Amino acid sequence: MSEKKPRVVCYLNQFFGQIGGEDKADTPPHIEMKAVGPAGALDTELGDVANVVATVICGDNYINEKDKAYSQVADLINSAEPDLVVAGPAFNAGRYGMACAKACEVAGEELNIPAVSGMYEENPGLDPAKRYAYIVPTPDSAAGMRKALPQMAGLITKILKNEELGPPEEEGYFPRGQRKTLFADKRGSLRAVEMLLKRLAGEDIETELPMPVFDEVEPAPAVREINKSTVALVSSGGIVPAKNPDSIESASATKYGRYSLKGHNDMRQLDYRSIHGGYDSVYANEDGNRVVPLDVMRELEERGEVGKLHDYYYVTTGTGTSVANAKKMGEDIAQELKDSGVQAVILTST
Amino acid sequence: MKLEIGEVQIEDIKLGEQTKIEDGLLHVSRAELRKLLLEDKRLAAVEMTVARPGDKTRIIPVKDVIEPRVRLDNEITGYPGVTDKMGRVGAGRTLALKGAAVVTTGDIVAIQEGLIDMWGEGAKYTPFSQTCNLVLTFTPRRNLEAHQHEEAVREAGLKAAEYLGKAAENMEPDNINTYDLPAMNKRGEEVEGLPRVAYLKMLIAQGLLHDSYIYGIDAKETLPTWIHPNEILDGALVSGNCVAACDKITTYQHQNNSIILDLYDRHGKDLNFLGVVLTPELTTFTGKVRACEHATGLIKTMGADGVIISEEGYGNPDSDLLQNCKLLEEDGIKTVLITDECAGNDGFSQSLADTSSVAKAVISTGNVSHMVKLDPAERVIGNIGSLANLAGGSGDSFCDDGSIVCELNAIIGSTSEIGYHNLTARQY
Domain count, chain B: 1
Q: Looking at residue A1, what is its pLDDT? A: 41
Region A41-45: mean pLDDT is: 95
Region A170-176: mean pLDDT is: 94
The upper half-sphere exposure of residue B94, i.e. CA atoms within 13 Å in the direction of its Cβ, equals 32
The yes/no answer on whether domain A7-171 falls in CATH 1.20.5 is no
Q: How far apart are CA B373 and CA B322, in angstroms?
A: 33
Of the listed ranges A146-155, A278-287, A289-298, the one predicted with least confidence: A278-287
Q: Which residues of A touch B210 (CB under 8 A)?
A: 279-280
Q: What is the pLDDT of residues B208-238, one digit of tens each?
A: 678 899 999 999 999 999 999 999 999 999 9
Q: Does A169 touch chain B (CB under 8 A)?
A: no
Residues forming beta bridges with residue B132, ordered by sequence position? B100
DSSP string, A56-123: EEE-HHHHHH-TTHHHHHHHHHHHT--SEEEEEEEET-HHHHHHHHHHHHIIIIIS---EEEEE-TT-
Closest CA to B413 of B116, B215, B161: B116
Say if the Cβ atoms of B428 and A167 lie within 8 Å: yes
Say if the Cβ atoms of B314 and A183 lie within 8 Å: no
B426 in any annotated domain: no
The three-state secondary structure class of B252 is: helix
Q: Please state whether the peptide bond connecting residue A89 to the residue before it is cis, i.e. omega within 30 degrees of 0.
A: yes
Q: Which residues of B touch A279 (CB under 8 A)?
A: 206-207, 210
* Neighbouring residues of B303: CB distance < 8 A, sequence distance ≥ 6: B196, B274
Domain of residue B64 covers 2-410
Residue A258 has pLDDT above 50, yes or no: yes
The three-state secondary structure class of A290 is: helix
Q: What is the pLDDT of residues B42-87, one digit of tens each?
A: 999 999 999 999 999 999 999 999 999 999 989 999 999 999 999 9
Say if the Cβ atoms of A320 and B334 lie within 8 Å: no
Residue B319 has pLDDT above 80, yes or no: yes
Q: What is the pLDDT of residues B225-281, one digit of tens each?
A: 999 999 999 999 999 887 789 999 999 999 999 999 999 999 999 999 999 999 999
Determine how β-strand A133-137 pairs with β-strand B2-9: unpaired
Q: Does B241 touch chain A (CB under 8 A)?
A: no
Domain with CATH 3.40.50 in chain A: 7-171
Q: Does B214 touch chain A (CB under 8 A)?
A: no
Q: Which residues of B are catalytic?
A: 242
∠ at Cα B131 (B125, B135), nearest 5°? 100
Per-residue pLDDT band at A217 (split at 50, 70, 90): confident
Per-residue pLDDT band at A323 (split at 50, 70, 90): confident
Task: List the single best residue of A132, A169, A196 to mutate versus B (max B Cβ within 10 A).
Answer: A196
Q: Which residues of B touch A186 (CB under 8 A)?
A: 422
CB contacts under 8 A, A 92-151 vs B, are 131
Mean pLDDT estimate for chain B = 95
- With CA atoms as reference, the chain A residue closest to B209 would be A280
Distance from CA of A110 to the nearest CA of B (A): 16
* Between residues B124 and B188, the one the model is more confident about: B124
CA distances from B276 to B232, B233, B273, B299 (A): 9, 11, 9, 9
Residue B334 has pLDDT above 50, yes or no: yes
Q: With the CA atoms of B306, B413, B372 and A161 taken in that order, what torsion angle do they form, in degrees rounded to the nearest 10?
A: 40
Are A250 and A274 contacting, i.e. CB atoms less than 8 angstroms apart?
no
Q: What is the pLDDT of residues A73-94, one digit of tens each?
A: 999 999 999 999 999 999 999 9
B380 in any annotated domain: yes
Q: Does A282 touch chain B (CB under 8 A)?
A: yes
Q: Which residues of A touch B206 (CB under 8 A)?
A: 279-280
Q: How far apart are CA A3 and CA B27, in angstroms?
A: 59
Q: What is the pLDDT of residues B146-155, one digit of tens each?
A: 889 989 999 9
Are B232 and B398 contacting, i.e. CB atoms less than 8 angstroms apart?
no
Q: Which residues of A touch B262 (CB under 8 A)?
A: 187, 189-190, 192-193
Distance from CA of B301 to the nearest CA of A (A): 19
Q: How many other CB atoms are there within 10 angstroms of residue B50's CB atom?
A: 18
- Among partner residues A168, A187, A252, which is closest to B421 by beta-carbon distance? A187
Q: Looking at residue A3, what is its pLDDT? A: 65
Q: Does B355 touch chain A (CB under 8 A)?
A: yes
Distance from CA of A332 to the nearest CA of B (A): 17
Determine whether B93 is exposed, middle or buried from the number of CB atoms within 10 Å of its CB (0-12, 13-18, 19+).
middle
Q: How many other CB atoms are there within 10 angstroms of residue B78's CB atom?
A: 22
Give percent of chain B above pLDDT 90.
88
Per-residue pLDDT band at B391 (split at 50, 70, 90): confident
Q: Which residues of B touch A325 (CB under 8 A)?
A: 344, 349
- With CA atoms as reference, the chain A residue closest to B416 would be A188
Residue B122 has pLDDT above 50, yes or no: yes
B421 in any annotated domain: no
B157 in any annotated domain: yes
Residues forming beta bridges with residue B306, ordered by sequence position? B197, B334
B267 secondary structure, DSSP code: B
Examine the predicted complex and report whether its ipTM is higher than 0.90. Answer: yes
B288 in any annotated domain: yes
CB contacts under 8 A, A 184-203 vs B, are 184-193, 195-197, 199-200
Q: What is the pLDDT of residues A89-125, one digit of tens each?
A: 999 999 999 999 999 999 999 999 999 999 999 999 9
B260 in any annotated domain: yes
CB contacts under 8 A, B 375-394 vs A, are 389-394
Q: Which residues of A touch B355 (CB under 8 A)?
A: 211-214
Are A16 and A59 contacting, i.e. CB atoms less than 8 angstroms apart?
no
B128 in any annotated domain: yes
B195 in any annotated domain: yes
